[in-house]
Structure 1
Amino acid sequence: MGRTLVCSIFLPYTINFHLDELEDKGHENHPASSSYEISRNRRNSIRIDNALSHLAISQKESSQATPAPLTPAFSPQHENTSDYFNLSSFKRGGGTKTPKTPKTPNIGTASPLPSSGRSSPVYTQPRSRAGSPPPFAKRDDRFGAPGLGTKQKLLQKRRDSLKKDVALFDSARWTVERGIIGNSGLFHAVDAAVRDKKLVNNVWVGLLGMPTETLSKKTKDAISAALLVKHQSLAVYTSDSDFEGHYNHYCRKILWPSLHYQHNEIFSFFHEESNWDAYVRVNQAFADKVVESYHPGDTVWVNDYHLLLVPEMVRKKMPNVAIGLFIHVSFPSSEVFRCFARRNELLRGMLGANLIGFQTEEYKRHFLQSCSRVIYAEATFDRILLEDRYIDVYSHPVSADPEAVQAYLDNEETIDTINLLKKRYENLNIFVGCDKMDPIRGIREKLLAFEQFLYDNPSYQKNTILLQTATMTEDARKYGVEVSEIVTRINSTFGDFSIDHLPVTFLSSDLTYPQYLALLSIADAFIVSSLREGMSLTCHEFILSQKEKKSLLIVSEFIGCAAFFRKGAFIVNPWSFLEMSQAMREALELDDSSKIKRYELCLNVINSHTASTWAAEFENKLRKSWSSQQKHDLSHIPRFTLNFVGSRYANAKKRLLFLNFDGQAVSWEGRHEFVDFHYGYMINILTRMVNDPKNIVYICSCLDRDELETFFVNIPGMGLIAENGCYVKPHTASEDNLQTWIRLFKKEQMAWRESMHDIIEYYSERTPGSALIDHGYAMEFNYVKVENRDSGLRNAVELCSSVNETGHACKAIPMEGHVLVEPKDISKSTAADYTLKKILHEPSDLDLVLVAGNNRTDEGTFIWANRLPVFSFTVSMRVENTEARSYTDGIPSFLNVLNSLCD
């Protein structure tokens, strides 16, 4: 078995440069502001000014703290995390606390274990050179207009300084560290699958999570070699300016908000196109690395919205490789997705994959609708059908790793912190929330709902608190100010100095993972009020941390895990403060037996669906999808020739043939008019086939009974299936079946016709030149004569979506120039099955079945025949993606083979 190349925007590893060692040796060094910086997962935090906070640190005390070297960690004014988790610094009931002097951060050390939590180690790494002139530029290069000599000198000075930085990092010792940014849910899931031996031989592909343009080729090569040999990782390198445009602008300010229904109209208008090129270049760098490193038998697993173009880019270079794509964030409705200026390119990039996975059925459905309505691709319930291949689409939510979380819960630091917090908040009801400071996370809505709860329930005002952690993001300072004002108002209104009580404690500093789990463990309810979110694994971690208290979740209905925990959690609308307030009260007042029952439902879901099984299942499903699609690819299925079928056909004792020649062989300008020269040739061949006593031949057609009988009236003994399976005329009379038409549907199965007539008529009226054609068994929206082809195609796609998504007892089949709406449970395949079982009574001597067709309505019959215990040939007479196991280049080629078989 080959490797799995797991592509994620960041590797699970990064690099730490030990510049302090150079300084000890007397090496010329540069201050952090000009040459390097300390990189953290969360570089910034927010000050929450709260005069009432019993945890406040005075400005005088803060200013006396020993400054940290390089770039120090930011300590929020209202809360110092080291003090908060120090029991001796807090005394409930009017006591005071003496803040400790912040410790100097240390340089992080390498560790084979995952990052231990929300609080990040400190690494020394290069400063981004986005927007800086390249160090290898010639001295006489011109920057700006002539005559700007001062500017030229400044640029040259910067260039010289950057050259020194290259030499500085070249000479520094470096170590590989566990990464502090990236998709931690993915990292832990793959690690768990590897630990459980469900995933073997995987190789990570990603960026290092730091600026790399300052590094020389020699340093990059050495880092790449160490990562590949010791950590099974392939490092991708891009320019700092490309990464800035890709990640910080296109991903974070265009894709991320819109995927979560927060479209940034102003930023998109001015910056979407300007940053698109950077997004493309970074995706191309990933694709090039995959192609360069690919070994036969490898599979490629691409993750998340940062790399949506990679599947198509890899497919262009390697058409037969197995490619999977999993989207970890939410996917919006087609009406939101079509707001992207590059919507077509994004979707076609994704469709380079063999398998596309989403967190929920809702996100999957939105993607299928977007493909159908934006690029007019044919979409079924779980598949996108392209001209030459298809893509499987499914939903399977990521989960947590119970074994790893339990290991941290058993950690001594976690146990000590839990005991500390229990003493601190003894006899209090505790709501807990852990989020990033981002409007999408719904912190504002959570605080307003908690405020509503306190107003609605006076008895809880003095004995209930909300512990909210919120790590700062770079673009949320304005939002943070708004959150700060709400916190201040709640504490001013409901706080009580006499008992040193404040309803809201807001922690904006990073927490270690033990501290984070400790907060989850003491909660009486955990509130996640995100306005949109892919899955939110914090909910899983909360459930796993609550084995003692068995407290419950209050979860926004707009989060992926709401469907995951729907039987046990309180599912709420975060926009309804009253609904959230009621859920808070119910979570506190629910009786123990009901609480335990709800909790165990949530826990059982996690234990039966772990991170390890999620990663393994995606890998297995990807390989199966690729294998199945290879069989359907015309470049991999055989051509239907005499050599291919001859010996098997000649040796068969009894043969059953279902043939469809609609369209090309029989055409008519009016009733019973033949205009295609293949007709006479076809009748001659079919007559000889029917006259062979070993053959039973049925013609399957969309034509009505009268037309079908007229076309084949001169071939006695020919079986007929009319109106796409609604009627069967047996090939010969018997005791059970006279040679007359048999209706295969019940009256109620056609009850959809009246409502569907109105729907198709609506689309016909809005598409000048189109027509509604009633075939009796089916209805047709025909847009062949529409002048505006795009308008006809767009309305045809919308009609298909409207019919197939509403649960009617009918289905819409898109075909060239028209859409056919027919009964869902009646088809050529059901008629073929009826013929075999009811008319022929499954003869024991039947040893060959041949099914041939030339349009989309035959695909179900191909699937039916492929599953028969009898040997079967399935033949597609159209050169495109098909379920058939062989193909010919049109009807003439197929007729030529039949003619040879008759000789």
Structure 2
Amino acid sequence: MAGRRPSSIGGRTCNRRSSVETFGEEVVTEVETPVLPPYDFIPNPSSNGGLMNAVKSLSNEQLRGGKVFIGTPGVATNEWAGVAEKNNIAKRLKDECDSVPVWVEDDTFEAAYAHFCKQILWPTFHYTLPTRNGLEHEHEGFACYRELNKRFAQAIVDEYKEGDIIFINDYHLLLVPEMVREKLPHSKICFFLHIAWPSSEIFRCLTARTHILKGMLGADLVGFQTQNFARHFRQTVSRILQLEATPKGIQIDGRGGFVTVATFPIGIDVKSLNKRRAQPDVAEWVEKLRSRYEGKKVVVGRDKLDSIKGVRQKLLAFEIALHEHPDLIGKVVLLQVALATTEENEEVAAATDVVSRINNKYSTLTYQPVVFLHVQDITFCQYLALLTIADAFLATSLREGMNLTSHEFVICQEVKHKPLILSEFTGTYSSLRACIGINPWNTKQVADAIYKAIMMDEGEAFERWKDLRRQVMAQDAQHWIQSLLGRLERAHIDQQRRNNLFVPRLEIGQSEWRASKSRLILLDLEGTLMRDDPLLDYAKGFEVPEEVINVLYQLTEDPKNRVYVLSGKGTQDLTKVVESVPRVGLVAENGCAVMYAGSAPHEHPLHISDHYSHKGAPKSWTSLVAGINMSWRDPVIEILRYFTERTPGSWLEDRGASILWRFWSEGFDEKTAQHNKDFLWARRQAAEVQNLIYDSLGERFSLRIIPGKTSFLIMPKNTSRASAIQHYNTHLLHPFGLGSFDLVVCIGQDDNLFAFINSLDLPFAPITCTSAGHSGDMQHGHNSHSVGVGSEANYYVNGPKDVYDSLYDILAFRGRDQKWGVPAMVDV
């Protein structure tokens, strides 16, 4: 949370903004101390009030350990604050305000906030160009920004107690989540961005883009105001960091986990606002303003005088409204409150020019069309009075995270029920749909909206206001904080459950295996039964390794087994498997098609006691994407061919319902790849083409793009290996009753499939085993494994050799039984 505060101590004044983990207090004046004049603390009037009210609304029962707010003090300190002074202030802040100060040198703070935050991040996140001054000092600014974030992270670590919730807010502290995670790996971390998040095409221009994204991904939960912002973030991470983005978040390769990404539109504290509205000063100002503008309609606006707030566009639109609707002249006043900002810009001059032109043209002795208040801010009571007497509220932001002023206007209109004119580029617009929506760049449309609002009949205005109020009341600050912390709790528990599991090497007990009368065996092909060699397959075509055929043939010889091989390869390649092992079942293209286990098409998968015959009609594939619009394939292939021509060593694989693009054909090594200019070029090409496909076709056709280290796969969104097995369970098992299999063994690398298998209620506990990797302990012979990649599996194996050892162990059970006979008693 951050707030701009003009502060004073010892007679000096400065303008500083405090980038705050939760809240900072301002040093002003009183109390005895040997080294400081009397001082006291007052709340920052320019802070994020919605955030503060939301956090303060949490009860002691919900946060039994209380709350600690961490932030900068908000005043220049180099000239007067030594160790003794800082200790004095820190002690009083902790005792009186539950706050911890972060001390930063003045020049470091200035470079971090005034240069990097306000001249680089702020404009970029709002789709405008960074300032020239900001670009000239970008590297120095980022170094100071990193240092500021480091100080915050250390302050959090110093204050942290087991079980604490760490709630980090806004763009001033984007690096803090990762810094805290490195020192507190099991802590509960939430990051919420209050401003907009730009498209990947804009964000990728930032020099520090990788540092920022990795910094944010240190959190368990990353929250945004709108679905669009969250979608842009997921797409940006996928494009720049080459991580898989899902609708629920980001899959992290390195530390294995999953970062939840979700939307939590913030609201206002309605109860607190109503208390302020009931103050006598508000009623007094309401009467004064009604008297002052009696007989006139007042359109109110309140914005920071920042280019993204669209103040100039608002004034131009009002000028057009007066020109095109002369009946408004002398009857309608635009009262614009323009709050000063800390950064230097040309907005004041630009806006003042338009105001002067309008007033010079349309003013009379008794009428001034535009009242432009920009020299001094109004009090909060005056602001509430303005919202109360307004005949319309006009917000023309060119890009904005939320715009809670519109919420406050709705609550203040409980008597007049006047309309809200709201830019479609605000986060608020998506929920307050009963407003009059506008494109602020279309000044003619805005002018028409002003006229419509002024002329709207009371019935329509009341109906619109009722809907707006319902949304504001439902989406208040308390609902926001409760939703956010609830989601954080779930995300953190899930992540810790994965990270803390100690998983043993795969062992399948003889007793369970012998006692089970029907078994389902699911085996991944690539990375589990065989090591994938894409270059060899591309050059010579896919050939099924002999060892794969041998083990599958022996597994399918047991009539109690149903064996399925799961693969990303297409049906043409996988048909070669069934030609050698007729009884095996296949799942192709990561779940896009299935060939059921059994030797003939008439043999139902549940007839597990049947002995197979290798004769009969050939088996056929069943498509699991038959009802999906596949017309995306041709344009995707065209795009990929274009990039293939421009990326040496790349090729595409048209697998049927999915398409893979391999952008790097040589061996991949994580350390050397970062210094290989050819690989870096190929990876940039891959990022470009993924972004192009997603932007042009992804949402329209519900496509899923799965990035890998040297390739990426494009396929229908709701299709996976897990969904294919769920289809098998739902459509083929249910008619004959659940529990048709006594035991399920699944060895592979698909966590979603592991989670589904583990949820099945079977006579014997499912055996799920990951072949995705292992910790360094294995090379020293340790027989247990801490799953660093956050696997849902109950066991692990170390590559194909371990897989074959385990499979031949269970095949040996049957061999011994056939040779020596089945035990008279099974110990289960």
Superposition TM-score tier, normalisation by shorter sequence: 0.7 to 0.9
1:661 aligned to 512, 525, 534, which one?
Answer: 525
Q: CA–CA distance in 2 between the matches of 1:195 and 1:558?
A: 38
* Residues 7, 16 of structure 2: 8 Å contact kept: no
* Residues 662, 710 of structure 2: 8 Å contact kept: yes
Q: CA–CA distance in 2 between the matches of 1:406 and 1:448?
A: 34
Offset of 1:357 from its aligned partner? 0.9
The share of aligned pairs that are identical, in percent, is 31
2:771 aligned to 877, 885, 900, which one?
Answer: 877
2:776 maps to: none
List gaps (5 residues or longer) in structure 1: 1-7, 20-31, 43-113, 126-166
Q: CA–CA distance in 1 between the matches of 2:604 and 2:519?
A: 21
* Residues 495, 790 of structure 2: 8 Å contact kept: no
Letter in 2 for 1:819: F
1:178 aligns with 2:38: no
SS of the counterpart of 1:819?
Answer: strand
1:448 aligns with 2:316: yes
1:90 maps to: none
SS of the counterpart of 1:211?
Answer: coil
SS of the counterpart of 1:642?
Answer: coil
2:296 maps to: 428
Offset of 1:884 from its aligned partner? 2.9
* Residues 315, 355 of structure 2: 8 Å contact kept: yes
Q: Is the alpha carbon distance of 1:836 and 1:675 closer, same or farther for their aligned partners in structure 2, counting shifts above 3 Å?
A: closer
1:201 aligns with 2:66: yes
Q: CA–CA distance in 2 between the matches of 1:40 and 1:853?
A: 55
Offset of 1:201 from its aligned partner? 2.7
2:123 maps to: 257
Letter in 1 for 2:634: E
Q: CA–CA distance in 1 between the matches of 2:480 and 2:160?
A: 24
Q: CA–CA distance in 2 between the matches of 1:878 and 1:752?
A: 31
1:752 aligned to 614, 623, 632, which one?
Answer: 632
Q: Is the alpha carbon distance of 1:445 and 1:243 closer, same or farther for their aligned partners in structure 2, counting shifts above 3 Å?
A: same
Offset of 1:713 from its aligned partner? 5.3
Offset of 1:396 from its aligned partner? 1.6
2:227 maps to: 361
Offset of 1:742 from its aligned partner? 4.1
Q: Is the alpha carbon distance of 1:231 and 1:718 closer, same or farther for their aligned partners in structure 2, counting shifts above 3 Å?
A: same
1:399 maps to: 267
Q: CA–CA distance in 1 between the matches of 2:590 and 2:55?
A: 48
Q: Is the alpha carbon distance of 1:592 and 1:276 closer, same or farther for their aligned partners in structure 2, counting shifts above 3 Å?
A: same
Q: CA–CA distance in 2 between the matches of 1:803 and 1:616?
A: 37
Q: How many residues align?
A: 753
SS of the counterpart of 2:724?
Answer: helix
Q: CA–CA distance in 2 between the matches of 1:11 and 1:873?
A: 57
Per-residue CA deviation, residues 103-135 of structure 1 (Å, 9 max, x unaligned), is xxxxxxxxxxx99xxxx999359xxxxxxxxxx
CA RMSD of the aligned region, Å? 3.3
1:543 aligns with 2:423: no
Letter in 2 for 1:569: C
Offset of 1:405 from its aligned partner? 0.8
2:799 aligned to 874, 882, 890, which one?
Answer: 890
Q: Is the alpha carbon distance of 1:812 and 1:637 closer, same or farther for their aligned partners in structure 2, counting shifts above 3 Å?
A: farther
1:815 aligned to 686, 703, 708, which one?
Answer: 708
Q: CA–CA distance in 2 between the matches of 1:823 and 1:689?
A: 32
1:325 aligns with 2:191: yes
Offset of 1:882 from its aligned partner? 5.6
1:531 aligns with 2:398: yes
Of 193-202 and 310-319, more deviation after overlay is shown by 193-202
1:108 maps to: none
Offset of 1:674 from its aligned partner? 5.9
2:753 maps to: 861
Letter in 1 for 2:51: L
Q: CA–CA distance in 2 between the matches of 1:355 and 1:122?
A: 33
Q: CA–CA distance in 2 between the matches of 1:532 and 1:706?
A: 50
SS of the counterpart of 1:878?
Answer: coil
List gaps (5 residues or longer) in structure 2: 606-616, 667-676, 774-787, 814-828
Structure 2 matches for 1:233-244, cutoff 5 A? 233-244=99-110
Per-residue CA deviation, residues 249-274 of structure 1 (Å, 9 max, x unaligned), is 21122211222122134213311112
1:743 maps to: 622
Per-residue CA deviation, residues 801-834 of structure 1 (Å, 9 max, x unaligned), is 4444333254333234322333445443333233
* Residues 267, 472 of structure 2: 8 Å contact kept: yes
2:820 maps to: none
2:659 aligned to 760, 771, 779, which one?
Answer: 779
Offset of 1:745 from its aligned partner? 4.0
Offset of 1:41 from its aligned partner? 8.7
Q: CA–CA distance in 1 between the matches of 2:571 and 2:239?
A: 35
* Residues 28, 39 of structure 2: 8 Å contact kept: no
Q: CA–CA distance in 2 between the matches of 1:647 and 1:354?
A: 41
2:332 maps to: 464
* Residues 15, 342 of structure 2: 8 Å contact kept: no
1:503 maps to: 369
Q: Is the alpha carbon distance of 1:717 and 1:474 closer, same or farther for their aligned partners in structure 2, counting shifts above 3 Å?
A: closer
1:487 aligns with 2:355: yes
Q: Is the alpha carbon distance of 1:179 and 1:702 closer, same or farther for their aligned partners in structure 2, counting shifts above 3 Å?
A: closer
SS of the counterpart of 2:648?
Answer: coil
Q: CA–CA distance in 1 between the matches of 2:115 and 2:688?
A: 33
TM-score relative to the length of structure 2: 0.84
1:123 aligns with 2:28: yes
1:289 aligned to 155, 161, 179, which one?
Answer: 155
SS of the counterpart of 2:137?
Answer: helix
Structure of greater relative contact order (alpha carbons < 8 Å, 6+ residues apart)? 1
SS of the counterpart of 2:361?
Answer: helix
Per-residue CA deviation, residues 408-455 of structure 1 (Å, 9 max, x unaligned), is 111121112112211221121110011122222221111111111111
Per-residue CA deviation, residues 216-266 of structure 1 (Å, 9 max, x unaligned), is 322322322332233222221111221111112211222112221221342
Per-residue CA deviation, residues 433-479 of structure 1 (Å, 9 max, x unaligned), is 11122222221111111111111111110111111111222334642
Of 257-266 and 743-752, more deviation after overlay is shown by 743-752
TM-score relative to the length of structure 1: 0.77
Q: Is the alpha carbon distance of 1:236 and 1:455 closer, same or farther for their aligned partners in structure 2, counting shifts above 3 Å?
A: same
SS of the counterpart of 2:51?
Answer: helix
* Residues 355, 392 of structure 1: 8 Å contact kept: yes
1:307 aligned to 150, 166, 173, which one?
Answer: 173
Per-residue CA deviation, residues 323-354 of structure 1 (Å, 9 max, x unaligned), is 21111111112222122222221222112112
Per-residue CA deviation, residues 157-180 of structure 1 (Å, 9 max, x unaligned), is xxxxxxxxxx99814233232234
Offset of 1:554 from its aligned partner? 1.0
Q: CA–CA distance in 2 between the matches of 1:746 and 1:450?
A: 53
Offset of 1:714 from its aligned partner? 5.6
* Residues 730, 740 of structure 1: 8 Å contact kept: no
Q: CA–CA distance in 1 between the matches of 2:632 and 2:171?
A: 40
1:412 maps to: 280
1:139 maps to: none
Offset of 1:586 from its aligned partner? 0.4
Letter in 2 for 1:766: R
2:384 maps to: 517
Q: CA–CA distance in 2 between the matches of 1:873 and 1:369?
A: 35
Offset of 1:306 from its aligned partner? 0.4
Per-residue CA deviation, residues 541-593 of structure 1 (Å, 9 max, x unaligned), is 1111001111111111211111121x211111112211111000000111222
Q: CA–CA distance in 2 between the matches of 1:402 and 1:252?
A: 30
Q: Is the alpha carbon distance of 1:434 and 1:876 closer, same or farther for their aligned partners in structure 2, counting shifts above 3 Å?
A: same
* Residues 26, 42 of structure 2: 8 Å contact kept: no
Per-residue CA deviation, residues 824-859 of structure 1 (Å, 9 max, x unaligned), is 4544333323333444444535343232224xxx34
Q: CA–CA distance in 2 between the matches of 1:594 and 1:623?
A: 43
Offset of 1:39 from its aligned partner? 6.6
Offset of 1:526 from its aligned partner? 0.5
Q: Is the alpha carbon distance of 1:648 and 1:233 closer, same or farther for their aligned partners in structure 2, counting shifts above 3 Å?
A: farther
Q: Is the alpha carbon distance of 1:619 and 1:706 closer, same or farther for their aligned partners in structure 2, counting shifts above 3 Å?
A: closer
Q: Is the alpha carbon distance of 1:773 and 1:717 closer, same or farther for their aligned partners in structure 2, counting shifts above 3 Å?
A: closer
1:377 aligned to 243, 261, 271, which one?
Answer: 243
Letter in 1 for 2:281: E
Instruction: Pick the structure with greater CA Rg.
Output: 1
Letter in 2 for 1:421: L
Structure 2 matches for 1:224-239, cutoff 5 A? 224-239=90-105
Letter in 2 for 1:797: A
Q: Is the alpha carbon distance of 1:393 and 1:683 closer, same or farther for their aligned partners in structure 2, counting shifts above 3 Å?
A: same
Q: CA–CA distance in 2 between the matches of 1:290 and 1:646?
A: 52
